[in-house]
Chains A and B, each alone.
Chain A
Amino acid sequence: MRSFRTYVSLIPLALAGVLLPGAAFAQPSGVLVIAENETPENLDPANATNSTVNQLLIGAYDTLVQFTAGETQVSPRIATAWEISEDGLAYTFTLREDVTFHDGTPLTAEDVKFTLDRLQAASANVLNDMGPFAGAEVVDEKTVVLRLSEPFGPFISALSRIYIVNKALVEPHMGEDNARQFLAVNGAGSGPYQITGYSPTEAVTLRAFPDYWGGWDGSHVEEVVFRYVSEPSTQLSLLQRGEVHIAPDLTVEDKLALMDTPGFKVDIGAAATPLFFAFNTAGEGPTSDPEFRRMLAMTFDRELHLEQVLMGFGNLPDGPLPVGWLGHEPGTEAEFDLEAARALVDENGWAGTNLLVRYLPAIQEEQRAVEQLQSNLSQIGINLQAEGMTWPAQAATVTSIETTSDINMLYNFPSFPDPHAVLNTTFNSALSGANGGYNWSQYSNPEVDELLNAAATSSDPEERAELYRQVQRLVGEDHVVITVSNPGSVVAMAENVSGYVYNAAHHQTFNYMDISLD
């Protein structure tokens, strides 16, 4: 076995040695309160694709490798080193010796294998980003091999959402549901914080875990509270009263105002989370006609959206892939041109067509975007009905083509900054909504699938870039989505919060393990 480095260059392994336990023990102190508008489904690491779940778990569990907030490449965590077989099908990880779970059990290779086995058995969402992952093997207590059925470039990055659970604790609860019920309300991790209170309609509390393997160097908070406050205006009042420290869900107007208000600050993170109107390409409805989709694609004014809905917080999208990413191809999506759309409607006699869009009213940007589309479509004689839902309900409607509405609105939160995480997730037919993925257009184009799979297995950046460019051109010709925006991550907080850094690989989470209150 010859080892080589993947295109994801590794942070020097020496870094891990810096964080030896007991080096300089600074007692964590204070309580950090974070407001959040949507309540979590549960605490199960299998649901970590959902940001409301992920934001709780990110500090409560450890992963083999992780993206540190602010960095675009993974660094070692539980794994200190890894080797990749020449054929790219076997990844051998060496684990740290000193990691214990919150109940004192040492973390071993068995736990890693158990975690992955369980996720496979539960056909968990988090595995969607893991490509052709086949299975895990324990070599010895501190060595584990992960096997792939074919090479997969971004594999190491994808491991950043695989939260390792305590086998000894979870296995007795496996039962028929693969411990879903148990892990839904119980923590089983080894991270710096431990979930100590879970009341899903009110708050979730985490406390610093004193025996954390990374030690408690620097300043940290002792307790973190996620408080569920659905209303932006209530979040604002609570922030102003000092009852919460971080308020991510304020209206854009309020965020703008807070920028100039003493005592508060507003962090603007360069997020890359494209928002899509995904057209149902597979159903019986009008959107199955590519020509009809071409018309729809011209009815959304992205510039107005960026300027007036996002108030400039974000980037103008140019196609599904964020501008500046590897393989970005400009000019693949139709420009806003209502008159051309009107001409198409008149030509084809589409006036009076009824369409349904499903979206999340809890997210102001989505509601405004739907209103914008409704307003434009009504001008050219097309009636767009909207149905507001919550995330799990909307996700349930796309599990079959029949129940998928004409248009679905969704964000893509790439789990690592690689075109694969945006394009494969959104356009590969293997990840269609009906197959349990986030391709909610139910888009199926063998040519696109082939290109995406080829790009995933290649490790040559130039080759990958070219493949992804082709994907974007094909998808653009088929008018599968409207890329509405690339909103920035705008988070308002009290001035005494220090250490917050936006994490692009874990959008809508907070690096509470690095934050302190002055």
Chain B
Amino acid sequence: MSYVVQRIAFSILSLFILLFVTFLLSQVVAGDPALIAAGPNAGAAKIAELRQQMGLDQPIFVQFGIYVGNILQGNLGTSWFTQQPIARDLMRELPPSLELVFLAMLINLAVSMPMGLLTARFAHTKFDDAVRLVVLAGAGLPVFWIAIILQQVVAGNWGILPIAGRLSFSNRDFSGATGFYLLDSLMQGNLNVFIDTLAHLALPAFALSLLFTAVGVRITRTSMINEFRKDYVTLARAKGAGEGRVMFRHVFANGATPALTVFGMQFGWMLGATVLVEEIFGRPGIGRYAIKAVTQSDIHAVVAVVFVVGVVFLIANLIVDMLVYALSPRKQRAG
């Protein structure tokens, strides 16, 4: 149990550092936030008033206090350009991005796990070398480039999958309780929308997953190789267990858990990488929102995106670590 407490304490500490870093980020902003916030028609008096309102005339640690207080109340500030509470904006933009990342992660796991296991089992064979090459190539692909090419070739020239958007036009009125269309459509029993959502997700999710899958295969392989080398595997083999049984019951079950930690971290990084694909595929989402916020110098919105993505990262890691802990009793002694 102490591990769980420790782990949660670490998450809280991390959250605090996250707050601090994002606060610093909002402070290094070139230019005067009040000036930009005031908009194009403000006079000096209005700007001074805003500066006071935003707490910009306070000492820096007081400003940090105000910042933390606001965030704890769920207040991420108001976007200077959408004029809306950023928290509300992000609640709208997060589900489509998370949906994309979930699917990309699924592709990643579906490829990484078996390929990792197989390359570990057949390490240093021609097969392993070939996969290694593919993996090294995958890790060198510019995500945005491959996204453009997939869009142009698969969707444009071949006409197989949708070019852009989140849903087909005929389904434009669809809405659901969670904002995750895959989930909402299933809950409403609307198979048509489910398939449509999936079709729109396919290309962006695939493009997004490539780089991460390349890393995923390597990590899983390393983790599995360590497992193959353990005594109990030799023992199981000596006892005459079939190779299939050794691979799946023993090596895979145990070797997958350390790799899970990395996949947990990848989740957050993937969310960050949505900035490279969402715009290309014309999807709404946090990546597109982030680019828009940056190019509009909407500093509060940018900082909020950094913060929220950081929080998602922390949560994903916490969940994965808890999962790993629950899966492996040996972890208890180690941790």
A and B touch in the complex (CB under 8 A): yes
The interface of chain A, by Cβ under 8 A from chain B, is 31, 33, 39, 41-42, 44, 123-125, 177, 180-181, 184-185, 199-203, 205, 225, 227-231, 233-234, 237-238, 241, 243, 388-390, 392-393, 395-396, 398-400, 403, 433, 436
The interface of chain B, by Cβ under 8 A from chain A, is 31, 35-36, 38-42, 78, 80-84, 92-93, 151-152, 155-156, 159, 163-166, 169, 172, 279-280, 282-285, 288-289, 292, 295-297
Expressed in whole angstroms, the Cα–Cα distance for A123 and B280 within the complex equals 37
Expressed in whole angstroms, the Cα–Cα distance for A400 and B35 within the complex equals 9
A sample of 21 inter-chain contacts (CB < 8 A) reads A31-B169, A123-B41, A180-B83, A181-B78, A181-B83, A181-B84, A184-B82, A184-B83, A184-B84, A199-B284, A201-B284, A229-B282, A231-B280, A237-B155, A241-B159, A241-B163, A243-B169, A398-B40, A399-B42, A433-B40, A436-B40
Given known pairs A201-B93, A231-B280, the reply for A390 and B292 (CB within 8 Å) is yes
Given known pairs A181-B83, A396-B297, the reply for A234 and B41 (CB within 8 Å) is no
In the complex, the answer to whether A231 meets B81 with C-beta atoms within 8 Å is no
Given known pairs A184-B82, A403-B31, the reply for A393 and B297 (CB within 8 Å) is yes
Expressed in whole angstroms, the Cα–Cα distance for A130 and B161 within the complex equals 50
Contacts of B288 in A (CB 8 A): 201
Q: State how many angstroms separate the Cβ of B290 from the closest Cβ of chain A.
A: 11
Summed over the interface, the residue pairs from A and B with CB atoms below 8 Å come to a total of 99
Contacts of A241 in B (CB 8 A): 159, 163
In the complex, the answer to whether A393 meets B295 with C-beta atoms within 8 Å is yes
Partner of B40, one of A125, A185, A233, A243: A125
3 smallest beta-carbon distances between A and B, as pairs = A184-B83, A436-B41, A202-B284
In the complex, the answer to whether A42 meets B40 with C-beta atoms within 8 Å is no
In the complex, the answer to whether A227 meets B165 with C-beta atoms within 8 Å is yes
Expressed in whole angstroms, the Cα–Cα distance for A392 and B221 within the complex equals 49
Given contact pairs A39-B292, A241-B163, enumerate 14 new A-B contacts (beta carbons under 8 Å). Answer: A41-B82, A123-B41, A181-B78, A202-B283, A230-B279, A231-B280, A234-B164, A238-B164, A241-B159, A393-B296, A396-B35, A396-B40, A398-B40, A403-B31
Q: State how many angstroms separate the Cβ of B248 from the closest Cβ of chain A.
A: 43
Contacts of B282 in A (CB 8 A): 227-231, 234
Given known pairs A227-B165, A228-B282, the reply for A390 and B93 (CB within 8 Å) is no
Contacts of B295 in A (CB 8 A): 388-390, 393
Most chain B beta-carbon neighbours within 10 Å: one of A202, A230, A390, A395 = A202
Contacts of B41 in A (CB 8 A): 123-125, 436
Chain B: CB-nearest residue to A31: B169
Contacts of B80 in A (CB 8 A): 392
Contacts of A123 in B (CB 8 A): 41-42
Q: State how many angstroms separate the Cβ of A249 from the closest Cβ of chain B.
A: 13
Given known pairs A199-B284, A393-B296, the reply for A238 and B163 (CB within 8 Å) is yes
Q: State how many angstroms separate the Cβ of B25 from the closest Cβ of chain A.
A: 18
Given known pairs A184-B84, A225-B172, A231-B280, the reply for A396 and B164 (CB within 8 Å) is no
In the complex, the answer to whether A392 meets B81 with C-beta atoms within 8 Å is yes
In the complex, the answer to whether B285 meets A201 with C-beta atoms within 8 Å is yes
Contacts of A200 in B (CB 8 A): 82
In the complex, the answer to whether A390 meets B35 with C-beta atoms within 8 Å is no
Q: State how many angstroms separate the Cβ of A306 from the closest Cβ of chain B.
A: 29
Partner of A203, one of B38, B39, B172, B296: B172
Q: State how many angstroms separate the Cβ of A37 from the closest Cβ of chain B.
A: 11
Expressed in whole angstroms, the Cα–Cα distance for A268 and B83 within the complex equals 35
Chain A: CB-nearest residue to B170: A31
Contacts of B36 in A (CB 8 A): 396
In the complex, the answer to whether B156 meets A237 with C-beta atoms within 8 Å is yes
Contacts of A389 in B (CB 8 A): 295
Expressed in whole angstroms, the Cα–Cα distance for A228 and B288 within the complex equals 11
Contacts of A225 in B (CB 8 A): 172
Expressed in whole angstroms, the Cα–Cα distance for A181 and B152 within the complex equals 39
Q: State how many angstroms separate the Cβ of B85 from the closest Cβ of chain A.
A: 8
Q: State how many angstroms separate the Cβ of B208 from the closest Cβ of chain A.
A: 17
Q: State how many angstroms separate the Cβ of B303 from the closest Cβ of chain A.
A: 16
Contacts of A390 in B (CB 8 A): 292, 295-296
Contacts of A185 in B (CB 8 A): 82-84
Partner of B292, one of A201, A396, A400, A436: A201
Contacts of B42 in A (CB 8 A): 123, 399, 436
Expressed in whole angstroms, the Cα–Cα distance for A400 and B41 within the complex equals 11
In the complex, the answer to whether B40 meets A395 with C-beta atoms within 8 Å is yes
Expressed in whole angstroms, the Cα–Cα distance for A141 and B165 within the complex equals 47
Q: State how many angstroms separate the Cβ of B39 from the closest Cβ of chain A.
A: 8
Contacts of A42 in B (CB 8 A): 81-84
Q: State how many angstroms separate the Cβ of B136 from the closest Cβ of chain A.
A: 30
Contacts of B83 in A (CB 8 A): 41-42, 44, 177, 180-181, 184-185
Given known pairs A202-B166, A234-B282, the reply for A399 and B84 (CB within 8 Å) is no
In the complex, the answer to whether A229 meets B40 with C-beta atoms within 8 Å is no
Chain B: CB-nearest residue to A391: B296
Most chain A beta-carbon neighbours within 10 Å: one of B41, B42, B80 = B41
Expressed in whole angstroms, the Cα–Cα distance for A46 and B36 within the complex equals 18
Contacts of B280 in A (CB 8 A): 231, 234
Expressed in whole angstroms, the Cα–Cα distance for A390 and B159 within the complex equals 32
Q: State how many angstroms separate the Cβ of B243 from the closest Cβ of chain A.
A: 49
Contacts of B292 in A (CB 8 A): 39, 201, 390
Expressed in whole angstroms, the Cα–Cα distance for A243 and B80 within the complex equals 32
Contacts of A180 in B (CB 8 A): 83
Given known pairs A33-B169, A184-B83, A185-B84, the reply for A229 and B164 (CB within 8 Å) is yes
Given known pairs A202-B166, A227-B165, the reply for A399 and B40 (CB within 8 Å) is yes
Contacts of A33 in B (CB 8 A): 169
Q: State how many angstroms separate the Cβ of B316 from the closest Cβ of chain A.
A: 23
Expressed in whole angstroms, the Cα–Cα distance for A42 and B295 within the complex equals 16
Expressed in whole angstroms, the Cα–Cα distance for A231 and B297 within the complex equals 21
Expressed in whole angstroms, the Cα–Cα distance for A200 and B84 within the complex equals 11
Expressed in whole angstroms, the Cα–Cα distance for A392 and B164 within the complex equals 26
Partner of A41, one of B31, B81, B92, B285: B81
Contacts of A398 in B (CB 8 A): 40
Expressed in whole angstroms, the Cα–Cα distance for A238 and B166 within the complex equals 13
Chain B: CB-nearest residue to A202: B284
Most chain B beta-carbon neighbours within 10 Å: one of A41, A237, A398, A433 = A237
Q: State how many angstroms separate the Cβ of B80 from the closest Cβ of chain A.
A: 8
Most chain A beta-carbon neighbours within 10 Å: one of B40, B151, B165, B292 = B40
Chain B: CB-nearest residue to A200: B82
Q: State how many angstroms separate the Cβ of B16 from the closest Cβ of chain A.
A: 31
Expressed in whole angstroms, the Cα–Cα distance for A399 and B36 within the complex equals 9
Chain B: CB-nearest residue to A199: B284
In the complex, the answer to whether B172 meets A205 with C-beta atoms within 8 Å is yes
